[in-house]
Amino acid sequence: MKTWFGKIEIRKIENIPVASTVQEEKGDSFKKMNDSHIRFVHYPDSQQLIIWLPQPGLEYENVQLRDAQTGKLAEEWTVADKLSGSVQLLWDTTPIKPGEYTIEINWKNKWKHRIDIVKNKKEVARKKKESPSRVKTENLSSKNNIDAIIYKDGFGNIIPDEDLILREKLKKKLTRNFSRHLEYKGNFRDGSIHYIDGDYSIELNHEMGAGNCMFYIWIPTRQQWASQTKIPLEERDEILDFIAQTVKNQQATSCRFEIKEDTIGFFYK
């Protein structure tokens, strides 16, 4: 698959009814999207469009990317295909060619978010200016035969390159978000669910419920989380939300879920 690494600019965001007859009927319940709901993350070798949906992701139908000049459909997929958690969409935009486009995210109650974007051609990287406080000491040839510059302060201590550190952190997170998945062991009555995202791995037991509860998953409490999973506590809520939403989509489509302190319960609607 060919890729293009030009930056994306968000030009305009609109929230519009599909038909005028539904505007008054559904308008009050439709939460509008604004520029705070969209973020474009870009580096020379990777990029991603991150969209936080105003409504729960499962209330949406599909996303359509169209050429703004011709109206031709360039890409289409269901919202559930790119959901990370309950409201976050993660979209690798490198396959999108340079040009002007409209993105339409269709809500099931006949409203949609429309986003006008421009995908630019790849820019020529500008030469980084040297800071007066940094002194270039030597060039080291890397494995790719690219000269690496090391900077030191007045005491001879190496100064970390914050841009590279941030880039590596972001690249690592993007890789995790795209690769993470669940694996299932055992049976419906008694088994386990294995969360895997490359760096992290968590195995959670589940059991069949009673009454209105279809089944529940045992999870570490906030106090137990770091010691049992070796994952920072600040990532707990997002990971549990991903697990709950994915299990619902894959194993319990007729259920709703509730995340409590030590369990995720799936209940018949």
Q: Are residues 111 and 140 in the same domain?
A: no
Q: Are residues 23 and 107 in the same domain?
A: yes
Q: Are residues 153 and 246 in the same domain?
A: no
Does the residue 228 lie in any domain? yes
Does the residue 155 lie in any domain? yes
Give the per-residue pLDDT at 195: 92
State which of 163, 187, 217 marks the end of a domain: 163
- Domains in the chain, number: 3
Domain of residue 93, CATH code: 2.60.40.3080
Structure tokens at 227: 């010691």
Domain range for 87 is 8-119
Give the per-residue pLDDT at 243: 93
Give the per-residue pLDDT at 66: 95
Judged against a pLDDT cut of 50, whether residue 186 lies above it is answered with yes
Q: Are residues 113 and 140 in the same domain?
A: no
Q: What is the mean pLDDT of residues 180-191?
A: 85
Q: Are residues 111 and 135 in the same domain?
A: no
Q: Are residues 153 and 114 in the same domain?
A: no
Q: Are residues 103 and 61 in the same domain?
A: yes
Q: pLDDT (tens digit, 9 = 90+) per residue, 208-230?
A: 988 899 999 999 999 999 999 99
Q: Are residues 111 and 24 in the same domain?
A: yes
Judged against a pLDDT cut of 60, whether residue 80 lies above it is answered with yes
Q: Are residues 114 and 149 in the same domain?
A: no
Give the per-residue pLDDT at 203: 93
State which of 93, 119, 145 marks the end of a domain: 119
pLDDT band at 171 (very low <50, low <70, confident <90, very high): low
Q: Are residues 15 and 37 in the same domain?
A: yes
Does the residue 207 lie in any domain? yes
Q: Are residues 112 and 76 in the same domain?
A: yes
Q: Are residues 156 and 256 in the same domain?
A: no
